[in-house]
Amino acid sequence: MDFTVTILGSGAAVPTSRRNPSGQYIQCRNRHFLIDCGEGTQMQMRKFGVNFNRITHVFISHLHGDHFFGLVGLLSTMHLMGRVKAIHIYGPVGLKDIVLMQLEVAKGKLAFELIFREIAPEESTVLFEDEKVKVTCFPLVHKIPTSGFLIEEKERERKLLADKAKKDGVKREYFHRLKKGEDIVAEDGIMISHLEYTEAAEKPKSYAYCSDTAYSEKTIKFVEGVNYLYHEATFIELLRDRAVATKHSTAKDAALVAKEAHVGKLLMGHLSARYDTGEEHVLEAKETFPDSECVEDGQIIQIV
Amino acid sequence: MDFTVTILGSGAAVPTSRRNPSGQYIQCRNRHFLIDCGEGTQMQMRKFGVNFNRITHVFISHLHGDHFFGLVGLLSTMHLMGRVKAIHIYGPVGLKDIVLMQLEVAKGKLAFELIFREIAPEESTVLFEDEKVKVTCFPLVHKIPTSGFLIEEKERERKLLADKAKKDGVKREYFHRLKKGEDIVAEDGIMISHLEYTEAAEKPKSYAYCSDTAYSEKTIKFVEGVNYLYHEATFIELLRDRAVATKHSTAKDAALVAKEAHVGKLLMGHLSARYDTGEEHVLEAKETFPDSECVEDGQIIQIV
């Protein structure tokens, strides 16, 4: 469970009893992120057992309401629940003013710091990076400036073959260097090979979030080879006209990106309220990319 | 079912799985109002079968987020669902800017007109009035300017005793005037008394909404004699200190207002998230005002 995505909202702009507007909680190597925050996201987090206080970074894709109307409410609730830890908020120009204006009229002051950073929507930029995880934004194609997000694990340390190391009397103080792939010449002159006492770690995993967007060839390079691709599929091909007019994707569009980018698996969401289930989407997508599914609110996806 | 209140949210600032933030749908003599619109109000309306499009007037009590964070989302959804009819929005200074700013960044335009009117929070003012219903605001006592709302039916026409009128050959063209209480001298010179052919209508009903507010003697005159009083009761007496510090009421405070204003029935809401049920509130209130209850999300109250 080192890398999971919890779907807080799999619907489009009009919420239904089945699908809330957009929101995803990402837990990756003990880092905790929120991508988008439509109205009711805090209620969904409570419903699905997500701990508000763990979240350190929020990434807002664009300023259509179904992707951010829940943000100021979430921040207010964090305050009322005693949060003191700063929170980082990444989003388009304008988001900061909207949040601050609404907090201002309440004449209250949050007990924690809001650290805003504006996303330049035309660029691919690293937004977050530490020794274990990296988050990058990249441009999508929608009616207003919109960013996708790529969450990548970094290379893990090699795994120690602890039993063998102990049996052979390898000193504990060498373990850390061996895991980093160093060979060590011990005090007695004997070479200790990292290949003998460690094995390769799991390959790092990656997840990309593309919502909202029309189909675009330019997306492909940004999501090339990710393990899981979440791509909006507001419509199916029957409503291609609506997809074109509103700069959204069909299930086929999403599947095309998945196929061309050689991803591991396609997850579709942001379904229009007119669709009760995602069955038609899945049928349509599988014609182009077999490993396709539609997500549901509350679903927890393990990125493997 | 001429006058009903649907509770969309009976909780305080932190939503729980049981109680959403504030929102009430009022249906009175075929007029349709929304009082307050906390985050998730549109989802509650959908859940409880309230038709968004019927609402013509929205009244926002004050600018704490749990009373208005759901407004812009509701307006956006109304637009996406095809609304073209203008909507009237009454609220404190600042509300208009907040709503317009959030709509502006989305670069969309609503297909219906928003008619804003600022409430002067220190005054009691008639906000809406037609031949059947009147809505008045009045000042409450909270940390920021806050208004309560009084919804009153107007006097109804007298009820025609139709069988008797037909039997005695009273002309149909006189019915309207008789119902208005006129006596008529017919063409043949005979007096037709309205008392003989009509009976008194039901007494007009009234409902008052007081949230958020500390206990205040000044509230009493504004809600004097209403059939149903909704008064916030965020706390019980055990937490009087919290109530005083946050300018909220206890159940006892709410009951005191109910008693002193001689209302018909007390409905309590805006319960702090720390209370799972309203049992303690009801016990406390009943000591002062026996006809007290706590409301629940989804409850429909007939004002009788």
How far does the CA of residue B206 sit from the closest CA of chain A (Å)? 30
Contact between B207 and B5 (Cβ < 8 Å) = yes
Closest partner residue to B77 (CB to CB) among A14, A92, A98 is A14
B246 interfacial to chain A (CB closer than 8 Å): no
pLDDT in tens, A140-160: 999 999 999 999 999 999 999
Inter-chain contact A98–B102, Cβ cutoff 8 Å? Answer: yes
Torsion of Cα atoms, A234 then A237 then A238 then A239, to 10°: 40
Residue A302's contacts (CB-CB under 8 Å, 6 or more residues apart) are A1, A3, A4
Residue B91: predicted pLDDT:
97
Inter-chain contact B144–A46, Cβ cutoff 8 Å? Answer: no
Inter-chain contact B65–A72, Cβ cutoff 8 Å? Answer: yes
> What percentage of chain A exceeds 70 in pLDDT?
100
pLDDT in tens, A183-229: 999 888 889 999 999 999 999 999 999 999 999 999 999 999 999 99
From the list A57, A62, A108, the residue with the least C-alpha distance to B142 is A108
How far does the CA of residue B197 sit from the closest CA of chain A (Å)? 51
Inter-chain contact B144–A107, Cβ cutoff 8 Å? Answer: yes
For chain A, the maximum distance between any two Cα atoms, rounded to a whole number of angstroms, is 75
- Is the pLDDT assigned to residue B188 strictly greater than 90? no
Distance of CA B61 to the CA centre of its chain: 11
Residue B281 structure tokens:
């509130």
Inter-chain contact A43–B15, Cβ cutoff 8 Å? Answer: yes
Closest partner residue to A14 (CB to CB) among B47, B81, B143 is B81
Judged by DSSP in three states, B73 sits in: helix
Nearest CA in chain A to B142: A106
pLDDT in tens, B168-184: 989 999 999 999 999 99
Catalytic: A163?
Answer: no
Mean pLDDT, rounded, of chain A: 96
Contact between B102 and B129 (Cβ < 8 Å) = no
Q: Which homologous superfamily does the CATH classification assign to the domain defined by A3-156+202-302? A: Ribonuclease Z/Hydroxyacylglutathione hydrolase-like (3.60.15.10)
Using an 8 Å CB-CB cutoff, list chain B residues near A63: 105-106
**CA–CA distance, B292 with A277 (Å, rounded to integer):** 44
**CA–CA distance, B242 with B274 (Å, rounded to integer):** 12
In angstroms, the Cα distances linking A119 to A136, B15, B53 are 10, 30, 37
How far does the CA of residue A196 sit from the closest CA of chain B (Å)? 54
pLDDT in tens, A94-144: 999 999 999 998 888 899 999 999 999 898 999 999 999 999 999 999 999
Contact between A126 and A136 (Cβ < 8 Å) = yes
Q: Are strands A114-118 and A87-91 parallel, antiparallel or unpaired?
A: parallel
Provide the residue ranges of all domains of chain A, joining segments of one domain with +. 3-156+202-302, 159-199
Torsion of Cα atoms, B259 then B262 then B264 then B267, to 10°: -40
In angstroms, the Cα distances linking B115 to B22, B56, B59 are 22, 10, 12
User: Which pTM value belongs to this model?
Assistant: 0.93
Q: Which residue has the tokens 């609503």?
A: B110
Q: Is the sign of the CA dihedral A270, A274, A278, A283 positive or negative?
A: negative
